[in-house]
Amino acid sequence: MARPIALITGASAGIGNAFAHGLARRGYDLVVVARDTARLEALAKEVEAAHGTSTEVLTADLCDSKQLAVVEARLADAEHPIELLVNNAGFGTMGHFKDLPIDGEAQEIALNVVALTRLTHAALPNMLERRTGGVINVASMAAFQPTPGNATYGATKAFVSSLSQGIHEELRGTGVNCMSLCPGFTRTEFQQRAGIDSSDVPNFLWQDASTVVDSALKSFEKGKAMCVPGPLNRATAGFSATVPSGVSRRIAGAIVKRSEK
């Protein structure tokens, strides 16, 4: 029988890289997408040596509509169907909204929202035809309340989580799943790329990317709509869901004000 194929965006680093290793270990072949070809090729060699995985390297800047269209076309290819799409590529910008260059905010929306939405849309028809597979969309704990200090980022992740759960319900009974993954602080290149100084975040709040991915794949295999990895993150998400939105918003604002002093 042919091995299932997973397409992972943002596979050159962090959580996407951990998805590539986790899925290769589970017997998937891979299509890996990011801008850094050398890192994707190194990943392809690693998973081939470790698991005999066959990997297609697809270099693309997903903020560029022409390059994004190539990835959409790969997802729509019924001859070589994608069993699992992991929409993981994303980045954050840090600072007060009024002070941030608008082009950076627009790029963030282009990647975290537009690319993810287009790729999900391109992937579903083949999956539905075959009545198998699905999509994991990487949101964040930032999805659960407004995030002053990185307001656009939180808004993009609230969109991802809402979209994914809406699609999850639309897909009920089809054999295809769409799941939102909401990690908390995860050791990757994310903070460095966002220019966030996370040295004062206590150790117990951090997870490794491989722990996040194990949790995500277990939840996806159970057909869940959402995965919040780790008991502490689940407790925080539960708290945000029970307090009035004005309270969680003000708490988030107070935490940011304190960190800015």
Ligand X SMILES: NC(=O)c1ccc[n+]([C@@H]2O[C@H](COP(=O)([O-])OP(=O)(O)OC[C@H]3O[C@@H](n4cnc5c(N)ncnc54)[C@H](OP(=O)(O)O)[C@@H]3O)[C@@H](O)[C@H]2O)c1
16 binds ligand X (CB under 6 A): yes
152 binds ligand X (CB under 6 A): no
Measure the CA–CA gap between 218 and 81, rounded to whole angstroms.
22
Cβ proximity of 134 and 179 under 8 Å? yes
- Residue 174 has phi, psi (to 5 degrees) of -95, -10
Measure the CA–CA gap between 44 and 39, rounded to whole angstroms.
9
171 binds ligand X (CB under 6 A): no
# residues near ligand X by CB under 6 A: 28
**Helix or strand or coil: residue 208?**
strand
Quick one: DSSP state of residue 201? S
12 binds ligand X (CB under 6 A): yes
**Helix or strand or coil: residue 6?**
strand
Measure the CA–CA gap between 141 and 19, rounded to whole angstroms.
19
CB-neighbour burial class of residue 141 (10 A; exposed 0-12, middle 13-18, buried 19+): buried
Q: How far is the CB of 13 from ligand X (least distance, A)?
A: 4
Region from 29-37, 43-51, 121-129, 225-233 binding ligand X, contact rule CB under 6 A: 29-37
Selecting among 28, 144, 153, 185, the annotated active-site residue is: 153
Region from 23-31, 89-97, 166-174, 224-232 binding ligand X, contact rule CB under 6 A: 89-97
Question: Among residues 15 and 176, whose Cβ is nearest to ligand X?
Answer: 15
The token duo for 169 is 């319900």
Single out the residue of 77, 170, 189, 260 in contact with ligand X (rule: CB under 6 A). 189
Region from 21-29, 165-173, 178-186, 240-248 binding ligand X, contact rule CB under 6 A: 178-186
28 is catalytic: no
Chain positions contacting ligand X, by CB under 6 A: 9-10, 12-16, 34-36, 39, 61-63, 88-91, 111, 138, 140, 183, 185-186, 188-190, 193
